[in-house]
Amino acid sequence: MTDLFKNRLKKLRNELGIRYSEAVLITKRVNYMYISGFTGTSAIVYISENRAVLLTDFRYVEQATSQAADFEIIQYSGSAFDKLNQLIESDSIQTLYFEDRDVTFYEYDEYTAKLKVEVFLPLGKTIEKLRRVKDQWEIELIRGAVDVADKVFLHILPFIKPGVAEIELAAEMEHHMRRLGASGPSFDTIVASGQRASMPHGVASEKKIEAGDVITMDFGALYKGYCSDITRTVFLGNPDKELARIYKIVLEANQKGLEAVICGIAGRDVDDVSRQYIADQGFGDNFGHGLGHGVGLEIHEEPSLSMRADLLLEDGMVVTVEPGIYVPGLGGVRIEDMVVVNGAKADILTKASKELLVL
């Protein structure tokens, strides 16, 4: 384990070319989790050429000492600026990288007023880039998160009955995730039934499920820090003929997309495979979002599979493939799987059935 974090630290230093008099401050939670292993909600990670320090407050010292074994732990109370300035002075730091994509304008003002360095440089997406390709350890955790989601899907099916509200289904799904070891959902559970299924992100409402409804459930678990993301669409009672036809088209688009996920392809070229198929079936205007996105410590991260995504897929990247067709006034269908890029044939993590299911 400790080799894992030593390696990440080394990669970060190399990526930035950290030299004498330069240091990095990491404040975005998922980024300091990735670099240090510490999962608590309050920390600043300081990395210079020779030191790796995690600053936290009284509440987290014990946890940080055990989780971030490769880091010096420094406790602060109130503000961390005094402790940071001590580090900056003892390392003769002149240039400080900071998380420009995470730090607020207010915090940046404080940094420039209180930290004794001459130059602030944006860290940009340096750590996000390192996080794109998952190592074996991460893939196992993501598998665990997907396994929870697969089990939640099987668990919820018998609860889907006329008169049950979407929010009751969502509550049962999220409760079951926790029973299975998840710390919670990885995003607000989507249960969109009947005509509401035409809203791609229809978060569960008080609407009651009715016979004849199409029901789209898009959900995921946060498991040991990692996210899963899966969508399944089912029918209560005999499906509307048009929706049944749409279901087959979306399923085919999902399968074609999964087959297109190969090492070396650009995200937009994967997107194009499913998008073109849907357009050829006459529903081009009804698929208005990207085909997929990276998943890891965050529910949406790089790489993206969309019309503008030129990043090439690499082995070990984890992405979703989630085509959908949405018809206002009728409903919608989306089918989403998670896969690991693995040479010419992606490793499909999601196991839940995609057969058209009539409850």
Answer for the pair 98, 84: CB distance below 8 angstroms, yes or no. Answer: no
Reduce the DSSP state of residue 49 to 3 states and report it: coil
Residue 212 CB, nearest distance to Mn ion (Å)?
A: 27
Residue 81 CB, nearest distance to Mn ion (Å)?
A: 39
Residue 185 CB, nearest distance to Mn ion (Å)?
A: 13
Nearer to Mn ion, 241 or 308 (CB): 308
User: Residues in contact with Mn ion, total (CB under 5 A)?
Assistant: 2
> Residue 22: exposed, middle, or buried by beta-carbon count in 10 A (0-12, 13-18, 19+)?
buried
CA 125 to chain centre: 15
Answer for the pair 181, 223: CB distance below 8 angstroms, yes or no. Answer: yes
Residue 288 CB, nearest distance to Mn ion (Å)?
A: 14
302 binds Mn ion (CB under 5 A): no
> Residue 352: exposed, middle, or buried by beta-carbon count in 10 A (0-12, 13-18, 19+)?
middle
Token pair recorded at residue 348: 């499909």
Nearer to Mn ion, 286 or 350 (CB): 350
Residue 85 CB, nearest distance to Mn ion (Å)?
A: 42
Binding residue for Mn ion, selected from 31, 216, 286, 320, defined by CB under 5 A: 320
Residue 299 CB, nearest distance to Mn ion (Å)?
A: 7
Q: Which stretch binds Mn ion (CB under 5 A): 15-23, 124-132, 237-245, 319-327?
A: 319-327
What is the x/- site pattern for Mn ion, positions 221-250, by CB under 5 A?
--------x---------------------
Pairing of strands 72-75, 52-56: parallel
C-alpha separations of 313 from 270, 284, 333 in Å: 10, 25, 27
CA 288 to chain centre: 20
In angstroms, what is the C-alpha Rg of the chain?
23
Nearer to Mn ion, 304 or 320 (CB): 320
Nearer to Mn ion, 274 or 320 (CB): 320
Q: Which residue is nearest to Mn ion (CB)?
A: 229
C-alpha separations of 229 from 280, 319, 335 in Å: 27, 10, 11
Nearer to Mn ion, 35 or 313 (CB): 313
Nearer to Mn ion, 93 or 190 (CB): 190
Q: Which residues contact Mn ion by CB under 5 A?
A: 229, 320
